[in-house]
A and B are shown apart, each in its own frame.
Chain A
Amino acid sequence: MLNRLFAQVGQTALVLFFVSVASFVFLKLAPGDPVSLMLGSDYNKDSYDKLFTELGLDRPWAAQYASWLGDFVTGDWGRSFVSNEDIFRLAVMQALPVTLCLAAYALVLALLIGIPAGVLSALKRDTWMDLCATGVAVFGNAFPSFYLGIVLIWVFGVGLGWFPTLGFVAPWENLLEGLWYLTLPAITLAAWYIGLIARVTRASLLDVLGHSYILAARARGEGSARVVWVHAMRNVLMPLTTTIGLQLGGMLRGAVMTEVVFALPGLGMMITAATLNREYTVVQAGVMLSGLLFVIVNLVVDQLYTWLDPRLRRLA
């Protein structure tokens, strides 16, 4: 068990190392640098050169990367080139909680809507209800999220005035207000996953419903609601968990556009801004965090499998 954990940690570290190298190389290869952005219209060679040197951007790439890595593993994540903000504070203390709240809220919404929609369309397969449920679910992920977000802002924020149009209030400070502020962004983000969850639920429920033990249960005269919710749903949970697991990583990543539209200071916003600013230290911190979350989610999902599937438990 401990060995496996160590192996996992080693593997994770390796993946993250790869991720950091890749993002570093990408940002270095991309034309442009933070200093020209900082100087903007006030560009002049002298100021540029001085700042460039001051920020250590004139050193060879390998040296820049090595010193970043050295600092990073010892807990010094450095400072943003442009704003001089402490990156650890920015990424972990500020951005991460925002994105986690958003993703969690969106996940709950997606499950609350997606599962019933999927069950409905599986039970009423090939009827108009199936088509409707599938249609509604599928339409959710048919619009670019920035567009959906903007439409929601104008309809529910400006037109009806039900929800705030943008901004973030920490739910841990004020739960209700926090959720209220996060509702439109969460719907925007959830829209994509509602369709997905509904589809997976539908497909795997159909799959399960055809199996002999369900037919047997039915033959025994068990009520169909019981059959569905007790016998069948248990087996739907497996693929659903996998999907959610895979997607949760994706959800944190999918938050990019949602955060930009709703001006949420989360990881997506941070990474986007930093990529556009060519701030490799910030991007690396962000991508490492996103990678770490991805790995953690995968580990949790693995654990959930063994818990859900007794066969796997025996194997382990």
Chain B
Amino acid sequence: MSAPRSMQVPAVPATRSGALAEGWSAVWAQRSARWGMGIVLAYVLAALFAPWLATHDPVAQAVEAAMQAPSTAHWLGTDSFGQDIYSRLLYGARLALAIGFGSVLLGMVAGVALGLIAGLAGGRIEWAIMRVVDGLLAFPELILAMAFLAVLGPGVDNLVYALALSFVGPFARTVRSDVLQVRAQPYVEAARLMGVPMREIVLRHVLLNVAPGIVVQAGIRVSIAILLESGLSFLGVGVVPPTPDWGLMIAEGRAFITMAPWISGIPGLALAILLVALNLLADGLRDALDPRSGETR
């Protein structure tokens, strides 16, 4: 999460050459990260090739075939409308990943920008920005998303905006404290004295140094986004049915948890596995991108 980052001793300036390849091999070197990456990749592929992999139309209802347990006809069973859960799961992966990554990306861009500005500008601007950020953080995420969604109206795009809003605060906060630490480093000071323009300092030194922390945080936040999204469906303001969406499937299936546990259980499990993978990947990224962790090896 964000917090430990701000307490850590800042990293040494990154060497540009081959950093990416090095980072990649460092991630790959870790078993759990490999697992994580493999699973996430599998999900992405499933989402991409959903139309080919699916056995049914994800929104085709079949009255006679409602609430059937997994079988050869319906590999993962059917829901209360007789829709094929396996096919809905595949299409649902698209939405889950789109909502997860979309909202985090959006929140990240806004949060990083605010954090950078606050950290670099200092003074009153910083103070003002951070008070706004504090305010955002004071809202319960779910409530913030709920209220914002009520304002914006229904729709997947609005859902992404609403979730993104709740991510602005945490990103801004982390980035700002990272920037403050990086800024205090002698080499940044030196660069400034050498007359390197601030913009370049920011891009070259600051952003590169805070990037690992942000990436790791983003990885974890993607799972939070998907969880929040399902929470909104639970409260009845999420994705519009019958859109194949995991959160919606879980929320709708909770009514049949004893009669037909697979309706909510299967999307729940799919979601859980994705989230575990994302977390493993994020952990791996942290270890790989954070040079200090190399010391232990």
Direct contact of A and B (CB under 8 A): yes
Candidates B231, B292, B295; contact of A145 at CB < 8 Å:
B231
Which bracket fits the contact residues of A? 35 or more
Q: Which residues, 67 to 92 on B, are CB-close (under 8 Å) to A?
A: none
A79 to B50, CA, bound (A): 52
Q: Which residues of B contact A93 (CB under 8 A)?
A: none
Cα–Cα distance between A239 and B264 once the two chains are bound (Å): 36
Is the Cβ of B3 less than 8 Å from the Cβ of A144? no
A287-B143 in contact (CB<8A)? yes
- Is A26 interfacial (CB-CB < 8 Å)? yes
List of A residues within 8 angstroms of B272 by Cβ: 139, 142-143
Contact yes or no, A200 B135, CB < 8 A? no
A151 at the interface (CB under 8 A from B): yes
Structural contact, B140 and A268, CB atoms closer than 8 A = yes
Q: How large is the interface on B (under 10, 10 to 19, 20 to 34, 35 or more residues)?
A: 35 or more
State which of B131, B279, B295 has its C-beta within 8 Å of the C-beta of A14. B131
Q: How far is the CB of A249 from chain B (nearest CB, A)?
A: 7
Beta-carbon nearest neighbor of A12 in chain B: B134
Q: Do A275 and B146 contact each other (CB < 8 Å), given the known contacts A134-B32, A145-B231, A147-B264?
A: yes
Q: Does A294 contact B (CB under 8 A)?
A: yes
Decide if B212 is an interface residue (CB 8 Å cutoff).
no
For the complex, what is the distance from the CA of A11 to the CA of B127, rounded to whole Å?
9
Considering only residues 129-174 of chain B, those with a C-beta below 8 Å from chain A are 131-132, 134-135, 137-143, 146-148, 150-151, 153
Residues of chain A in range 120-166 having any CB-CB distance to chain B below 8 Å: 125-126, 130-131, 134-135, 138-139, 141-147, 150-151, 154
Q: How many A-B residue pairs have CB under 8 A?
A: 179
Interface centre among A126, A195, A287 (most CB of B within 10 A): A287
A159-186 contacts to B, CB under 8 A, are: none
Contacts A144-B227, A249-B137; A242 near B7 (Cβ below 8 A): yes
Separation of A31 and B153 alpha carbons in the complex (Å): 9
List the 10 closest pairs (A to B, CB-CB), nearest first.
A291-B138, A253-B140, A30-B150, A142-B272, A242-B3, A210-B296, A239-B4, A18-B135, A142-B275, A210-B295
What are 30 A-B contacts with C-beta separation under 8 Å? A15-B134, A15-B138, A16-B138, A18-B132, A18-B135, A19-B139, A22-B139, A23-B139, A126-B31, A131-B32, A139-B272, A139-B276, A141-B279, A144-B234, A144-B250, A147-B264, A200-B4, A203-B4, A207-B8, A207-B292, A246-B1, A246-B2, A253-B142, A257-B235, A271-B140, A272-B146, A275-B143, A276-B235, A290-B140, A291-B135
